[in-house]
Amino acid sequence: MFQSVMNMDEDARTLKMLLGFCYPISIHRLPRLTTLKDVRTILQAAEKIEMKGVQENIRETLVDMFSVDKPVSVFAIACHYWKKEIDQAAYRFLVLPINSASADEADLELISAATYHRLLRYRQECGEVAKNEVM
């Protein structure tokens, strides 16, 4: 009867997680995104098929779970998908030692070198202001 198949670029794991956001919460728990790769993959798939509700749900997960340990990655993802979260991620970037503020290459590909440079300049300027206040 219905035998049409739609080919998708996403793998089965990604589609299972993505569709997990569509089931009623009363019968199914929302998928847990435990890595930034999961977040990025689901966001890309959700953006592709315009699932805005999924993107909003993931935004909260991204900020809550990853912004302390990976603020540069959160900044890059937020720059690509949401503008409001940029400030939070940039602020969290300030409190980390510069040598521990790393990001995955795939996350950095979401932003331009100029945007990353502005983040580094913001950190430097905030540090100079703080240093001048102490002196």
Which sequence spans correspond to the domains of the chain? 12-134
d(CA 40, CA 28): 22
pLDDT at 135: 67
pLDDT at 92: 73
Which of 51, 63, 64, 68 shows the shortest CA–CA distance to 17? 51
pLDDT at 24: 78
String of b and e for 69-108 (b: at least 16 CB within 10 Å)? ebbbbbbbbbbbbbeebbeebbebbeebeeeebebbeebb
In whole angstroms, how large is the CA radius of gyration of the chain? 18
pLDDT at 124: 84
String of b and e for 49-58 (b: at least 16 CB within 10 Å)? eebeebbebb
Which of 129, 36, 31, 14 shows the shortest CA–CA distance to 89? 36
Residues in the chain: 135
Which of 30, 28, 26, 29 shows the shortest CA–CA distance to 42? 30
**Tens digit of each residue's pLDDT, the chain (135 residues):** 667 777 888 999 999 999 898 887 777 788 888 898 999 999 999 989 889 888 888 887 887 888 778 888 888 888 888 766 676 777 777 777 776 667 788 888 888 888 888 888 888 888 888 778 776
pLDDT at 43: 92
